Amino acid sequence: MNDKSSADTLVVTPPGAEPASQEPVEKNVSTFRLVATLAVAGILAGMLIAMVNEHTKPIIDAYRAEQLRIAVYEVLPGAARYTTFYLVDGELNPTLPDGAKEVEYKRVYVGFNEEGGPVGVAVSRGESGFQDVVMIILGFDPVGGKLTGMKVLESKETPGLGDKIFKDKAFVDQFFAGPELPLVSVKAGSGKGEPNEIDSITGATISSKTVTRIINNAVAEWMPLLQQGIPEDEQP
């Protein structure tokens, strides 16, 4: 019995028929079809992102507004309520011009006690830190020239080091002890006991100095305007 490989197998082709090809047939894919498929997928993905953003944005905005409200009361310990004033044409106003966008105007939060007397003002400000922008809110007394509090709103500083600007209680407490303005950042334990000294954080000097720098810059920006007179309480 003779064994033959498949390569020796005789293939009979009927008369008039094309010889069978033993090579796979290559199918040409239309470039237009590929582009169209990708375009449709991109449009659908974009629509999905837009729908999700439209649904979640109001929720995120409401959450941020609530966190800001809580933060204002934290940095203004003596406030029973506060009013937001916008800087419009060099003056503070509780309302914006018709059609104006709130995000385009700087603002200050003026805190009042139960009797309607001002207890201080709060402003938010962000500047570059070691890793990224550090956003804080600070409270201060424009009349007495003292800080009343500080809270970090946003920060991406190095975990375990830079994030101590809001996790290190001893560091944060210094800003609620009524230090005089402007602040001076000193190496921890090397201060002279001056009323405006803030001990920096060992291992996170840049981040901690960023906080004092932001505070000083914010106060320098707002103090001249506020010293002309703090707006009165809008509530009767």
Confidence band of 30 (pLDDT split at 50, 70, 90): confident
In a domain, 201, yes or no: yes
1 pLDDT more than 70: no
Q: How far apart are CA 68 and CA 179, in angstroms?
A: 23
pLDDT above 60: residue 3: no
**Cβ contact 120:150 at 8 Å:** no
75, burial (CB in 10 Å: exposed 0-12, middle 13-18, buried 19+): buried
In a domain, 29, yes or no: no
The answer to whether residue 220 sits within a structural domain is yes
**pLDDT at 26 (0 to 100):** 59
| pLDDT above 90 as % of the chain | 66
The verdict on residue 129 lying in a domain is: yes
Residue 19 has pLDDT above 60, yes or no: no
Does the residue 116 lie in any domain?
A: yes
- In terms of pLDDT, which residue wins out, 180 or 9? 180
DSSP summary character for residue 103: G
Structure confidence at residue 6 (pLDDT): 46
pLDDT tens across 99-127, in order?
999 999 999 999 999 999 999 999 999 99
- Taking only the tens place, the pLDDT of each residue in 152-173 is 999 999 999 899 999 999 999 9
Q: How many domains is the chain partitioned into structurally?
A: 1
In sequence order, what are the residues at sequence separation of 6 or more whose Cβ sits closer than 8 angstroms to the Cβ of residue 137? 68, 71, 72, 75, 122, 123, 124, 150, 151, 153
Span 173-193, mean pLDDT?
96
Q: What is the DSSP letter of 160?
A: T
Confidence of residue 146 (pLDDT cuts 50, 70, 90): very high
Q: How many CB atoms sit inside 10 A of residue 57's CB?
A: 10
127 within a domain of the structure (yes/no): yes
Does any domain span residue 42?
A: no
